[in-house]
Structure 1
Amino acid sequence: MAFPEINVNDAYNLLDEQEEEKTLFINSIIWLDKEINTVKENQQSQQQLRNLFPDVQIISFEAVFDSEEYVRQHNQDSLLVIVSGRLAQTLIPDIHDFNHIQSIYIYCRNQDPEKTWTSDFAKIRGIFTEMHQLVTKIELDQGRIEKTRESVSIVAFPVNMEGDSSLSVNGDLLQFQLLLDFLRKMDWMVCDEEDFLAFWTKKLSDTPNNISILNGFMNEYSPDRALWWYTRPTFFYGALNKALRQQNIETLLHMRFFINDIYDQLASLQQFQPHSKIRAYRGQLISVEELTGLEQSINHLVLMKSFFSTTTNRDLALFVLGDTAQQFERWRTRSIIPLKRVLFVIDADPSNTDNILPFADIGTNSYFPEEQETLFMAGCIFRISETRYDESEQIHLVTLELCSADAETKALLDGRKKHFGNDNSLITLGHILEETGRYDLSKTCYLKALDQLLNHKAPCFDERNIAVCYNSLGNIAELTKDYQNSLEWYKKGLEKYEETLPAGHKFIADSYRSIGLAYGRIGDKTRAFESLEKALSILRTNHGTIHASVAACLHAMGSIYLMVDDIHEVSNKAFELLHEALDIRQKILVKNDPAISSTLFNIGSVHRALRQFDEALLFYERSLNLKLKFFPESHPEVVKTYYTMEAVWKEKGDNEKASEYASKALRCHTHFLVLQHPNIIGIEHEIHSAASTDTDN
């Protein structure tokens, strides 16, 4: 079973989510230089810093005494100090050890710097003789510190019973990898470039500086500069990773070329870099609760849903931690969440390329080549091998080992890729989103694809795809319990298939099956069985008896019997049809195919209708285990199964067990929904009633 997703760091979600601009961990930049107001270069550099960090005060001083007084009086702020070489040795010893001093930079204009004395002061970030180097260094350092507040979406799973280091099948992994694979394959057209520009222009309309960056991107971007743009401090970095963490499909669709180009650059760099094992580091501030979750997940495996930035320079990773926790607490006065300093230690072997996504040292392609950054592709899998507290450095260490998916996961992933084929259209995206439970988004994809087809705007026109859209919209209507509309969509799909396909085609039979199920949903059992019998006849005549569509038809017929008023009269027939469907599916489908879990669930429902509760729970449990390997845990099918098992336990009179499964349903739902959502309120009601109601069944 999947463990809850760990968002490192959810503590920062208390920040204003509207704020997309760069936000520093400093309140003010203190600049001490006798010539601060007379040298033009100093004034230009101050303006440069204001442009980079518009929310930060820049306060200039000509006298050491005045600057030192300001530092002492503003001990609740977090300060960055720039000091001239002539005044550095006077000021720095007096202020260096103040907790609210984050970093110190020394600027020696027109003179050779004296470096020997600076080694005693850890907060000195460098001595510079060129102003542009100093500004670049500040931008780089603050970018590193900014990453400590960046959420890292981690989904944790236990390993299998044998303790293998490869990942056991899990729906979150499967669906995330399918989505990434699709985005990478989806064609990029000229009109997409126009959509990209319009999309970001609208989102950035209130930030002129970002509009300027966007225009520069449109004029200068090329695939071989993807990593340069990714590492440059712009809105692209944060927006892309946020979209990956939240699976914001609209943003990901507009940025899919960027994801693809980053992947290709990482793969190319990895190919030409040494194949020896590496150790990389990442400093991160996380909440106490998240740290506890990591400590309780030793030997569990984690899926990184966003790009994972690390450095091979341990000192750099430690720098961003520094006193940052205390500074951030001081700066973010709204927070009541204590933050812990964590150093992730990442071990990776580039020679092991089996099912592992690319990672590479991107220094030669980075906006900041001196950062020594190793970037891991979104979707990488790691094992948590160790967590411990280092007393001397006062940091928590979490060691991660790069892993691969196991054969079972790969087989299921390859099976789904084969199922979707090479089609990289909106229809396929709709199918993937449908499998993840994003029914509203999948419906949008189908409607947009249908509009393109009907108006001959589709990249590759195939009239049969109109029928595919109709049937897919019927599926969504059925899944959202809009049964009358689902029937109408299915009929339109059948009509289009009969216009474009030979009479015995499988798709025509599948349409009759869908229509039969829709009739059953609205209570017309006679027409339901007529349509299903017609579908079964077409299939057996043209495709034999051992076929996936035959199994689907038998499954549908067994399901219709579940809808009759007295199940006792037809239970034997329902069992016969469902078990026959199960036998076929287990013979010809990969063992974790969701169709198998669906049949297991319906067999359980027949047992439940007969009040054979123990047998029902056994089949529901088998169905649940398969669903968790295919669907994300928050998927409606998983939630429905938890809810159904809660109801059966309540019917058995075991309110404690009922409450346990209702709680699981609530936990899965809250993964994506806020507590005020009506579905959440309904499930909460079930928790309370299951725990408090003593029923005599």
Structure 2
Amino acid sequence: MGCGASVATDKSVVNSTTPVNISSPTHPHRSQVSITNGEKGQQRIQALDLVQNYFLLWLDGNLDESNEDFQNSIKQLQLAVDTIEKFRDANECLNYISSFKKQKAFLIVSGALTENVVPRVHGMSQIYAIYIFCRKKSKYEQWETKEWPKVRGVFTEIHSICASVQQSARECDDDTVGITGELESSFMYTTFFKEIVLEIDFDEKKTIPELADYACQQTVYTNNKKELELINKFAQEYHGNIDNNSVQWYTAECFTYKMLNKALGNLDVNTLLKTGFFMRDLHQNIQQLHDEQLNNKDKPFPSVAFRGQTMTQQDFEIKIQPDKLMSYNNFLSTSELRNVAVRFIRRKLLSDNTKIGVLFIITIDPSIKSVPYARIAKFSKFPDELEILFSTHTVFRIRQIKEIQEEEMKIWQVKLTLTSDGIDEELSALTKQIRMEITGTGWDRMGLLLWKMGENDKAEQVFTMLLEQAPDDDNNKAYCYHCLGLIKRNQGQYNVAIDFCEKSLAICEKILSPNHPDLATSYNNIGAVYNDMGDYSKALEFYEKAHKIYEKALPPNHPELATSYNNTGGVYNDMGDYSKALEFYEKSHQIYEKALPPNHPDLATSYNNTGRVYHNMGDYSKALEFYEKALKIKEKALPSNHPSLATSYNNIGQVYKNMGDYSKALEFYEKDLEITKKALPPTHPDLAISYNNIGLVYNNMGDYSKALEFYEKDLEITKKALPSNHPSLATSYNNIGLVYKNMGDYSKALEFYEKAHQIYEKALPPNHPHLATSYSNIGQVYNNMSDYSKALELYEKDLEITKKALPSNHPDLATSYNNIGLVYNNMGDYSKALEFYEKSLKIREKALPSNHPDLAMSYWHFGSINEKMHKYSEALSFLEKALFIFKKSLPPSHPHIQSVRNAIDNVKKKI
């Protein structure tokens, strides 16, 4: 293993949110719902459970929890469903059901409350099944009709309800196995996860008890004696795929089945890491059975399998298209029997008639080796269903779609065939690049995968473990330091990142020749951290060291050289030296043109980077030219609903927004939104970003009600898709705060800015630069409210963090001083304002090129305050300096140029 992969500074413009983009933290452990009295119900539904997505509710006005029969009934029901809530009041129960959106509820209702409750709850989407529990069945049989299809029956004994609830729970579990159209990122990442766990040699003496402990910690199991006994039995008796042990535990439909499939569906990294060894064993067990059964001439394997599923009309139209691919992340249950699949569809449609039924007919070709599959009926709790279980990540080609009449139902019949990685070019092309980037073997590959997924805390745990195991002065140790440096950079802990990168470099310098490309990689990565810290001279120093090695060690048209030029161009772009940035981006582009085919997406990215420079320069026509070149390549090279196309539409929309052409901006943002809605699931964070961008346009147009409408759509998705302390949620709150600030509703603005700030405080270290930005945002509101003492207090907190987190010559520190100067200026304390303006100017003069626009802004401020102090000659001198820089660095039509000219004219009249 070398000292690490090179990190390019990606300067591509992507869907933007304000004020900053912060790396994703790991998913927190979320509290579950236990068996408690209904009076506290509203506080208990926080998020989707790690284990299940359904609850059992028992509504009876005369519930007596001390009654022995009732306690025995609860124990029996717990064998079917983990979470039970009890209610005595009908209104409270209905309010509780209304409070959650994704979970499904099974409702046991007493005979006495049936007439009042069933008509009120039957139409609620959250209700999956209703069980009427009474002493005299004949009194309530009128509810067992087609008019009330969610009523599963009238019961006089609890064990009959248990059997029916168990069937409903199984249907709900199976319905969480989601289809992905084409290949989505979750499919690719869980594919890589599977590949990696198959090559890791797990220590089962450690991993089995860890999974058992993790399952016991889930609140949903803490009061479930039967499930806890099962977990303990698993810890004592599980022994991998010996004697089909893993298949037996999977078909037991206990915590193993629920946690693993839920984690695969939700891409829950924490749970995937805990269940990784079980996933490996189950896959290998299916493979073993597959080999045995396919070679059994006495009992030929069936050529067709059936699966019944229900889908929304929208999902069906997006994901089920002729000749397209569809896939499953999870272990996939099918049946040899058509009527089993049809029966499943019928029961699902009875409970939810808003969906459509889909019967998948899967042709099984033994020559296709994409994933193993096996008969598992003899291990199943439902042997009559003749189940065939496929391992994870099945990919099918859709061959035929046909609407059919199935008894009293109209359903869609979809014929599928398995595809193979070896022959399916689309599948191979979409995963090839990322697979190449996840280098190494075993746990180091796992660490890289987690890093690429933004799971920095988990990746840090893996590489810290590997570091402890690595010998001194070994290249493995250098690699671990390197990766930890990348992680700390993503976490905004730049000083720690530099420390790790330098430790990696020290080892690489000992074990590698002076011109080894991996040494260049170390220099490159250190340069990237300094670039993030705003120390551009240091960044350039290390990028140049890296580049000298690349020039000697690599052929002149190697893509790494193009990356090196790109990184240097990125520094100059950040420094505001756009001519230099263009020079290096052009060198990078020339190599890409020679090394890549003309329709390669990387060439589109190169055009995009150049467009970004022109965008920053305010030369929107040039930016548009390069963005459109990028778009032209993407339209040829990518599928029509590829998310990268949506990004191009977004970039072009940004140009039109900045040009003030809001109707054009909306046109392109809506194209972006149209693709994003088709390409991604309805709770995907990228969809939230698309809504956010449209909100930005309406905000700029002054249509604040429309802006709020789209920002709230953004917020709704973000709250569903991300953990409650995710920084992107803070960004959503920030945007809504921005609208209220623009509307002059400062109390509302503060409410949302403070929500954002609370998340930043939880999610980020106390000296993180983004926390400083949050203080600055709140300070701006108080400044606008003329509460200058409060604004000053917040700006000083911003300054305190910025001074600790960033180097003394960082441009952001200059901005902090500038903001404090603005407050003193508004207070009429011009001498104090000048003091802070001077500190700001001093940094900018050192840190920025002489023609940087921010330097001109400082001179403009000096000119303005000197005019207020009646020092007209000094004011004129500073304003002319500002104009000189603006004319050099900005296009002639830029509004700043005319504004400063107007200010100069005003001062000249006063002299």
Q: 1:225 aligns with which of 231, 235, 245?
A: 245
Aligned to 1:164: none
Q: How far apart are residue 178 of structure 1 and its match?
A: 1.8
Counterpart mapping for 1:1-400 below 5 A: 17-18=48-49, 20=51, 49-50=76-77, 52-53=79-80, 76=118, 78-79=130-131, 102=152, 141-142=167-168, 144-147=170-173, 150-157=175-182, 171-189=185-203, 190-203=205-218, 204-222=221-239, 223=241, 224-271=244-291, 272-273=293-294, 274=300, 277-284=303-310, 286-287=311-312, 289-291=314-316, 293=318, 297-322=321-346, 325-326=349-350, 328=351, 339-354=354-369, 356-384=370-398, 385-388=400-403, 390=405, 392-400=407-415
Note the C-alpha offset of 1:208.
Answer: 2.6
What amino acid is the match of 1:615?
E
Deviation at 1:669, TM superposition (A): 11
The amino acid across from 1:451 in the alignment is: T
| 2:416 paired residue number | 401
Q: 1:503 to 1:606 in 2, by over 3 A?
A: same
Q: Does 1:530 align with 2:541?
A: yes
User: Secondary structure of the equivalent of 1:52?
Assistant: coil
Q: Does residue 516 of structure 1 match 2:534?
A: no
Deviations 1:349-384 (A, max 9, x none): 232415x22233322343432221122322222344
How far does the alpha carbon of each residue in 1:136-179 deviate from its partner, in whole angstroms, 9 at most, with x for none? 9768745544446x32322223xxxxxxxxxxx76554334222
- 2:555 paired with 1:549: no
1:434-513 superposed matches below 5 A: 434-435=451-452, 438-439=453-454, 441=455, 443-454=456-467, 456-457=468-469, 463-479=474-490, 486-513=497-524
Do 1:27 and 1:79's aligned partners in 2 also have CA atoms closer than 8 Å?
Answer: no
Q: Which has the higher contact order (CA 8 A, sep 6+)?
A: 1
Aligned residue for 1:117?
none
Q: Give secondary structure in 1 for the equivalent of 2:198.
A: helix
Which secondary structure state, in structure 2, belongs to the residue aligned with residue 152 of structure 1? coil
SS of 1:388's equivalent? strand
1:342 shift after superposition: 1.2
Q: For 2:303, give the aligned amino acid.
A: K
Tell me the SS of whatever aligns to 2:285.
helix
RMSD, aligned CA: 4.9
Counterpart secondary structure, 1:562: helix
Q: Aligned-pair distance for 1:247?
A: 0.4
Is the counterpart of residue 646 in structure 1 residue 653 in structure 2? yes
> What secondary structure does 2:389 align onto?
strand
Pairing 1:420–2:438 present: yes
Residue identity in the other structure for 2:79: L
Equivalent AA in structure 2 for residue 445 of structure 1: K
Contact persistence 2:79–2:227 (CA under 8 A): no
Aligned twin of 1:576: 586
| Aligned partner (choices 428, 431, 445) of residue 448 of structure 2 | 431
C-alpha displacement at 1:532, in angstroms?
Answer: 2.3
SS at match of 1:346: strand
> What is the distance in 1 between the residues matched to 2:667 and 2:473?
49
Measure, in 1, the Cα distance between the counterparts of 2:633 and 2:496: 28
User: Post-superposition shift, 1:661?
Assistant: 4.9
TM-aligned CA distance change 1:480 to 1:81, over 3 Å: closer
2:428 to 406, 410, 433: 410
Which residue matches 1:7? none
Cα contact 1:156–1:302 (8 A) shared by 2: yes
Alpha-carbon distance in structure 2 between the residues aligned to 1:514 and 1:484? 13
2-structure distance, mates of 1:613, 1:351: 53
Decide whether aligned partners of structure 1 residues 276 and 370 sit closer, same or farther in structure 2, where only a CA change above 3 A counts: closer
Instruction: Identify the residue that residue 92 of structure 2 maps to in structure 1.
Output: none
Change (3 A) 1:152 1:577: same
Amino acid at match of 1:540: E
Q: Distance in 2 between matches of 1:82 and 1:231?
A: 33
After TM superposition, the score normalised by the length of structure 1 is 0.70
Code of the residue aligned with 1:348 in structure 2: it is T
1:312–1:373: 8 Å Cα contact kept in structure 2?
yes
| % same residue | 19
Cα distance, 1:696 vs structure 2: 9.3
Q: For the Cα contact (< 8 Å) 1:155–1:304, is it kept in 2?
A: yes
Q: How big is the shift at 1:268?
A: 2.8
Deviations 1:612-657 (A, max 9, x none): 133321344368679989x995xxx999766544322324554344
Find the residue that maps to 2:442 and give its secondary structure. coil
Q: Secondary structure at the match of 1:281?
A: strand
Contact 1:669 1:680 in 2 (8 A): no
What is the CA-CA distance between 1:684 and the residue it aligns to? 5.6
Q: Larger helix proportion, structure 1 or 2?
A: 2
Secondary structure of the residue that 1:339 maps to in structure 2?
coil
User: Are residues 662 and 614 of structure 1, via their aligned partners in 2, closer, same or farther at CA, if it must alter by over 3 Å?
Assistant: closer
The one-letter code matched in structure 1 to 2:587 is L
Contact 1:647 1:658 in 2 (8 A): yes
Structure 1 CA distance for aligned equivalents of residues 155 and 145 of structure 2: 15
8 A Cα contact 1:552 1:581, kept in partner: no
- Closer, same or farther: CA 570–135 of 1 in aligned 2, 3 Å: closer
Deviation at 1:214, TM superposition (A): 0.6
Report the TM-score when normalising by structure 2. 0.55
Distance in 2, Cα, partners of 1:565 & 1:44: 72
Cα drift, residue 253 of structure 1: 0.9
Do the aligned partners of 1:620 and 1:645 also contact (CA within 8 Å) in 2?
no
Shift of 1:689: 3.6
Report the count of equivalent residues.
592
Taking the aligned partners of 2:512 and 2:632, their CA distance within structure 1 comes to 38
Segments of structure 2 that go 5 or more residues without pairing to the other structure are 1-44, 60-68, 87-110, 119-128, 295-299, 704-892, 896-911
Per-residue deviation, 1:582: 1.6
Q: Name the CA shift for 1:565/1:78 in 2 (closer, same or farther; >3 Å).
A: closer
- Looking at structure 2, the residues matched to 539 and 504 of structure 1 have their Cα atoms a distance apart, in angstroms, of 8
Are the structure 2 counterparts of residues 596 and 542 from structure 1 closer, same or farther at C-alpha, using a change threshold of 3 Å? same
- Decide whether the 8 Å contact of 2:305 with 2:388 is kept in 1: no
Q: Following the alignment from structure 2 to structure 1, what is the Cα–Cα distance between the partners of residues 437 and 401? A: 39
**Residue identity in the other structure for 2:524:** R
Q: Give 3-state SS (helix, strand or coil) of 2:665's partner.
A: helix
SS in structure 2 of the partner of residue 185 of structure 1:
coil
